[in-house]
Amino acid sequence: MNMLGVLFNVMAVAVAVGMLAWVFLAMYLGCRKLEISLAHLQNCREINALAYSLRGEGIRAKMQLITHVSMIVAFPRLMSRGEQVSLEDVTGFPDPLKTQLKAFIWLGVIVYGFLLCFALIKVFEHFS
């Protein structure tokens, strides 16, 4: 096996491990930190509407909600364009939880970015 093949295999394993880590972290944050996050974003209409529509839906809904909360905490200016996000709530968020949510969302961005690069390399390799 050549060096490029080894690199692809290492990249595939890294993407798979990263995706599993992201899912497990979403489950942890969704089960353990969601109520605290919702309490701090009580003036956020978007989160309240999403939490109301997803209540009682199980772990998948908690993961979806914590991902949305993480997006609001990580990118407050981007998410506040529609006047549905309260910037006062985001600035009053506890720093350790804010750091965890930002790390969670950036881990997802990096893992899925690697996944996209891996897929594009494989497609270009196939057509070359």
Residue-wise pLDDT tens digits, 45-69: 777 777 777 777 778 888 888 888 8
pLDDT of residue 12: 82
**Residue 3 in domain:** no
Write out the residue range of the structural domain in which residue 30 sits.
21-127
Rounded to an integer, the average pLDDT of 91-96 is 85
Rounded to an integer, the average pLDDT of 68-78 is 83
Q: Give me the number of domains the chain comprises.
A: 1
Burial class (CB in 10 A: 0-12, 13-18, 19+), 29: buried
Structure tokens at 3: 């060096």
**Residue 123 in domain:** yes
How far apart, in whole angstroms, are the C-alpha atoms of residue 18 and residue 76? 25
**Residue 6 in domain:** no
**Residue 76 in domain:** yes
For helices 59-74 and 3-32, the axis angle rounded to 10 degrees is: 100
Give the residue with greater pLDDT, 1 vs 67.
67
